[in-house]
């Protein structure tokens, strides 16, 4: 017998330790529900099940992707449903306009509704989005990076939108007729038969008896009575004569040209002593009844010419500059700036350009600071807010540039959301010399790749499987008015450039045009029907895809469960067995620990 080594106790301890280890693993399986909690539990099973888990989670995500794609299709198809309704209404209006019982005014009302409905089709195509992705206006490369909310700016060609925005005139055109003391000193004979030419009409002075209708019989009479021939040095006589002529001319203009002019009168006054010859001029101001721009005045042609055959005492004056003139003059500056918004749909790309009067902003790399009317903005890794703030900063520099600020830009400009707000106080003066236009705010927007990509359908790649290359391509057609063939330019010529909004709708101004409009709307309805049919078929396909993904996910999850999940009944049986062995092992270890006590009997 030995006391240094209790072999029986060591053996009992070893077996007890193994049993307790098995019990611990069984408890872990029972508490987690997993058969494999670590690689050591089943190395091969772990590798297989992890690969299955990748597939399962991929299938779940692909199912969500497919459902998102269905939602995208439903969004587009819902918008096209409204487009269909609009086209049906437009066709109905065309059939109505083709009826010979209508008058031109009736068709004009129909044309207005067709125009508005055409604009709405363009708006639907421009604004229908899913997760900010525009669905019905083609590929992103086939849309301009910004749009100008003014009909004065329109598509030219080669990806260029240009035009001149002008403010509405807020003042009438004017001319001052100034009568000085020399006029009041003339005799009847010197005035007799003299003329004023105003608005193309000849006003002829009759200073004999004040009753004639113009000496020539063709002109408008300016009848003066009581003219003082020998005024001498009397300031009172001079001012009296001037007053009589001004009153007579005023009456004649009001009687014969009141639709064109309002007349304002400041009579002459004695500025000094009674007979010192110092007299304040009399002024007769002719103002047009309607506000006018310089271009409006220019369009009057010869009617805006003002002159007289009186050689002394009468001058025509420009009230804006207090200088001599022979024509009506209009203020080129409006009282308030006309606002205009340039709304950006995306960050400009390299090669795009924005021109504002004498300012040219290029988007490229590297950035170049503002100098002499131009600047370059580096758009690399910039968001839209940063780019808009850069543009606003450059406009501020250009507006304050000395001596050549941007000529037509209003003092106020700002950034609001994704829009650049500009304005101009310049009315249309009709002057467009080579170089800088001066008749308003010149806007040009150049999209470098628009022309090459216009009209391209939107391609959406859908990941509908758990693995690479398991994708599907969805094509969404351009559904704006131009693509549907119902967009027109201002002269009713066909506007066929996709991505460019219509100026007016299809012409229904007469019966023949309305007949052609019916055909045009039939074709448009057919195009929308084909697109909706395509989207509906695609949705049906995706619904089957979703069902297939759900089935594959279910079966693969079942297979992974068989590898990874624990069999609770089997594990509970194992746990019960190990629990009994633990109790037996503990009892045997206690007995083995008592065996060395027998040595004490030998030592007595």
Domain ranges of the chain: 61-139+456-552, 165-169+333-452, 172-324
Report in angstroms the alpha-carbon separations of 243 from 205, 252, 315, 477.
14, 14, 16, 76
Q: What is the pLDDT averaged over residues 277-284?
A: 88
Q: Which residue has the higher pLDDT, 571 or 90?
A: 90
Residue 174: what pLDDT? Answer: 93
Encoding tokens for residue 473?
Answer: 């391509």
What is the pLDDT, as a whole number, of residue 284? 94
**Confidence label for 481 from pLDDT (cuts 50, 70 and 90):** very high
Measured distance CA(72)–CA(81) in Å, rounded: 14
Q: Angle at Cα 131 formed by Cα 130 and Cα 136, nearest 5°?
A: 30
* 525-553: average pLDDT: 95
Cα gap 411→120, rounded to integer Å: 34
CA distances from 269 to 199, 251, 277, 321 (A): 28, 20, 11, 23
pLDDT band per the 50, 70, 90 thresholds, residue 449: confident
The more confident residue out of 503 and 436 is 503
User: Residue 432: pLDDT band by 50, 70, 90 thresholds?
Assistant: low
Give the Cβ contact number of residue 301 at 10 Å.
9
| Between residues 244 and 32, the one the model is more confident about | 244
Q: Give me the CATH topology for the region 61-139+456-552.
A: f41 fragment of flagellin, N-terminal domain (1.20.1330)
Nearest-CA neighbor of 515 among 525, 524, 526, 506?
506
Q: pLDDT category, 463, cuts 50, 70, 90?
A: very high
Whose CA is closest to 396, among 411, 417, 377, 378? 411
Partners of 461 in the β-ladder: 473
pLDDT bracket for residue 185 (50, 70, 90): confident
pLDDT band for position 410 (50/70/90)? low
| Whether residue 437 has pLDDT greater than 70 | no
Sign of CA dihedral 20, 23, 28, 31: negative
Please give the Cα distance from 362 to 407 (Å, whole number): 19
What is the mean predicted confidence (pLDDT) over 301-326? 89
Whether the per-residue pLDDT at 440 is higher than 90: the answer is no
The CA distance from 59 to 52, in Å, is 10
**φ, ψ (nearest 5 deg) of residue 173:** -80, 145
Nearest CA-CA partner of 357 in 389, 402, 403, 404? 404
More confident position, 86 or 132: 86
Question: Nearest 10 degrees: CA dihedral of 496, 487, 440, 414?
Answer: -100
Report residue 15 as tokens: 């077996």
Give the tens place of pLDDT for each residue, 366-392.
999 988 888 999 999 899 999 999 999
pLDDT at position 192 over 60: yes
Tokens of 164: 């001149």
Residues 158-171, buried b or exposed e (16+ Cβ, 10 A)? ebbbbbbbbbebeb
Residue 433 has pLDDT above 50, yes or no: no
Backbone phi and psi for residue 13, each to the nearest 5 degrees, phi listed first: -65, -40
User: Does residue 436 carry a pLDDT above 60?
Assistant: no
What's the pLDDT at 139?
78
* Tally of residues, the chain: 604
Between 315 and 453, the more confident residue is 315
The pLDDT of 481-493, averaged and rounded, is: 92
Please check the confidence at residue 407 and state whether its pLDDT lies above 70: no
End-to-end CA, the chain: 16
Residue 71 clears pLDDT 50, i.e. is over it: yes
Name the nearest CA neighbour of 192 among 225, 211, 215, 213: 215
Measuring CA to CA, which residue among 199, 192, 193, 306 is closest to residue 256? 199
Find out whether 175 and 316 touch, Cβ atoms under 8 Å: yes
Cα–Cα distance for residue pair 238/256, rounded to 1 Å: 27
Q: At what angle do helices 7-32 and 568-594 cross, to 10 degrees?
A: 160
Q: Which of 160-169, 179-188, 566-575 has the lowest mean pLDDT?
A: 566-575
Q: What is the mean pLDDT of the chain?
A: 87
Rounded Cα–Cα distance for residues 565 and 558 (Å): 10
| Burial degree of 544 (CB within 10 A; 0-12, 13-18, 19+) | exposed
- In this prediction, residue 434 has a pLDDT band, given cuts at 50, 70 and 90, of very low
The stretch 294-318 carries a mean pLDDT of: 89
């Amino acid at each position: 017998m030995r006391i240094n080594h209790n072999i029986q106790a060591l053996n009992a301890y070893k077996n007890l330790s193994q049993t307790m280890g098995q019990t611990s693993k069984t408890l872990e399986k029972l508490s987690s529900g997993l058969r494999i909690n670590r690689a050591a539990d089943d190395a091969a099973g772990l590798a297989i099940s992890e690969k299955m888990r990748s597939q399962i989670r991929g299938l779940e995500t692909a199912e969500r992707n497919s459902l998102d794609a269905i939602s995208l299709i439903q969004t587009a198809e819902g918008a096209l449903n409204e487009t269909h309704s609009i086209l049906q209404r437009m066709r109905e209006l065309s059939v109505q306009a083709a009826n010979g019982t209508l008058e031109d005014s009736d068709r004009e009302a129909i044309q207005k509704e067709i125009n508005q409905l055409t604009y709405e089709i363009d708006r639907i195509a421009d604004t229908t989005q899913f997760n900010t992705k525009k669905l019905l206006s083609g590929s992103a490369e086939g849309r301009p990076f910004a749009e100008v909310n003014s009909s004065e700016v329109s598509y030219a060609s080669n990806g260029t939108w240009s035009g001149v925005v002008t403010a509405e005139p807020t003042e009438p055109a004017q001319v001052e007729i100034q009568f000085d003391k020399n006029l009041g000193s003339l005799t009847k004979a010197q005035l007799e038969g003299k003329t004023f030419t105003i608005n193309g009409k000849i006003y002829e002075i009759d200073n004999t008896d004040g009753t004639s209708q113009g000496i020539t019989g063709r002109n408008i009479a300016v009848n003066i009575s009581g003219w003082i021939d020998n005024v001498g040095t009397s300031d009172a006589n001079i001012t009296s004569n001037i007053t009589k002529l001004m009153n007579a001319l005023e009456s004649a203009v009001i009687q014969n040209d009141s639709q064109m002019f309002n007349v304002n009168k400041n009579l002459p006054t004695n500025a000094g002593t009674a007979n010192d010859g110092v007299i304040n001029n009399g002024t007769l101001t002719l103002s047009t009844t309607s506000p006018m721009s310089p271009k409006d005045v220019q369009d009057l042609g010869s009617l805006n010419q003002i002159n007289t055959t009186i050689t002394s005492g009468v001058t025509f004056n420009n009230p804006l500059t207090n200088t001599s003139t022979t024509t009506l003059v209009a203020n080129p500056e409006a009282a308030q700036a006309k606002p205009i918004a340039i709304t950006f749909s995306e960050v400009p790309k390299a090669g795009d350009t924005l021109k504002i009067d004498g300012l040219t902003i290029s988007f490229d790399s590297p950035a170049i600071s503002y100098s002499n009317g131009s600047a370059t903005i580096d758009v690399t890794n910039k968001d839209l807010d940063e780019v808009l703030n850069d543009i606003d900063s450059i406009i501020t520099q250009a507006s304050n540039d000395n001596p050549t600020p941007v000529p037509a830009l209003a003092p106020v400009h700002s950034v609001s959301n994704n829009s650049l707000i500009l304005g101009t106080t310049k009315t249309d003066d009709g002057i467009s010399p080579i170089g800088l236009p001066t008749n308003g705010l010149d806007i040009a927007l150049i999209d470098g790749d628009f022309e090459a990509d216009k009209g391209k359908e939107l391609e959406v790649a859908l990941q509908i499987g758990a693995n690479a290359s398991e994708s599907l391509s969805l094509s969404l057609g351009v559904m704006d008015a131009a693509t549907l063939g119902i967009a027109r330019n201002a002269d009713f010529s066909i506007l066929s450039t996709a991505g460019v909004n219509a100026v007016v709708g299809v012409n229904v101004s007469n019966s023949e045009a309305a007949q052609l409009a019916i055909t045009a709307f039939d074709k448009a309805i057919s195009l929308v029907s084909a697109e909706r049919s395509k989207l509906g078929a695609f949705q049906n396909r995706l619904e089957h895809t979703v069902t297939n993904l759900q089935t594959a996910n279910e079966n693969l999850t079942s297979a992974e469960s068989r590898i990874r999940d624990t069999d609770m009944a089997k594990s509970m049986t194992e746990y019960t067995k190990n629990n009994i062995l633990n109790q037996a092992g503990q009892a045997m270890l206690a007995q083995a620990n008592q065996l060395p006590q027998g040595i004490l009997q030998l030592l007595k």
